Structure 1
Amino acid sequence: MATGSPDFQEVSGERIAVRHLAGREPGIVWLGGYVSDMKGTKAETLHEWAAANGRAFLRHDYSGHGESGGDFADGTISKWLAESLAVFRRFSAGRQVLVGSSMGAWIALRMIEELHKSGEGDRVAGLVLLAPAPDFTVELMEPKLKKTQRRDLEKKGFFEVRSDYSDQPYVYTRALFEDGRANRVMTGPINTHCPVHVLQGMKDKDVPHTHALKLVSCMPSDDVTLSLVPDGDHRLSRPQDLALLIRAIEAILAQAGA
């Protein structure tokens, strides 16, 4: 379990909460999902594994999430991406394996794009993506928006959806949808230049497994492994799911020569 107070980094006026563990490279960088925080089951499991194996481990809360400052409704992919890059550059060194869950997979893929643009692409040793939801606003949500939701987006600038994982509803803003279009990654070939392992539950009600199949089809040049979990849901947090996650990370590390 996470103990003590996190460190903080200011990014564009927001206080971003960070927890990091020193260790050998390649380290592990956790990128959580929409409305999740860095003290969830998967992140805590990775912390324990990293500590036991002497690996560096880094995680943070996006603005409006967990222990970070800011208003959740102000968040966009671009904003959370900028925060993730700032934390990555300040608190990690050398090669890292990015582990992205749901929306965190989208952030991870955009991080790789930006790191390659800045000449830092070789810092990513591999990718592990759980129930990946890149482009979810455009690919998964927009086609299914109800008339009332479209009206709320237009008139109020947001709509709410009941959450299966929290007492509080999920809030989706017009800014999130507009910014999502500007951050799409599944519009053509995706070249990560590193090994990738995708974990996807077949009973995921939030991100269908067909989305993972489409994502893998966008990676023709990469060494990609896709593990489908027949009875897995979106969270992939059962003991057997967590064991699969650790095996996937260990396999990526082995491919990275570490």
Structure 2
Amino acid sequence: MKKLFFAFLLAAAPLMGFASGGGVHLDDADIDLSDEASLQRGAKYFVNYCLSCHSAKFQRYNRMARDLGLTEEEVKQNLMFTTDKIGNTMTIAMPQEQAEAWFGTAPPDLSVIARARGVDWLYTYFRSFYVDESRPFGVNNIVFPDVGMPHVLWELQGPQKAVFRTEQDAAGNETHVFDKFEQIAPGKLSPGEYDDVARDLTAFLSYVGEPIQMKRKSMGIWVLLFIAAFFGLAYMLKKEYWKDVH
């Protein structure tokens, strides 16, 4: 049993290290996938700010309509480009060659980014852009150093700068450690309102990564209840079969 436990810890260690975001503190996303209004707002932000560069090629518009409590007509009017069809996946028109020329690399598809990075990482990422004139687009990101994209939500959040402190290790080596953000100029939204935008966008990407996850979790509860009830019946049956042996 001990060997099995230690084997599990060794297998999980790389995942825990990856989820930590390279030592950067990740804020709790606190998303609610049962909140259809939040998912609808997240879909709107994704289409308006992300879909011009980032696709979600495993997500279909009509599936999104059904899952988020929208009609197909509402999706057509508010969440689709005029050239798209309701049965299409959320792809982009930008050629990969042009994307590589503009950004240095083609922007990744975001269908499973929430599953790959984790919702806390995404939520923190959306809130961690800061002004850095040395970067091509004038911004950097605490959780994704040297990020190769602009801060597309900067008008909502407003520009902010990162404050670093100097720490010294036992050998006398100095390192710059992130301390806090300071707002340079206000955005269109208050900090709390922008956090809600980041949370809604994170929730939508979490949904896109696994649209059936709410049903899966609900079904899992019933499966566990069935197993618990069946275990009781199986145990009583076992006692009945073996009563004369023991």
Instruction: Tell me which protein shows more strand as a share of its residues.
Output: 1
Kindly indicate whether structure 1 or structure 2 has the higher relative contact order, using CA contacts under 8 Å at least 6 residues apart.
2
Shorter-chain TM-score range:
under 0.3
Q: Give the structure-2-normalised TM-score.
A: 0.23
Bigger radius of gyration: 2
Q: Give the structure-1-normalised TM-score.
A: 0.23
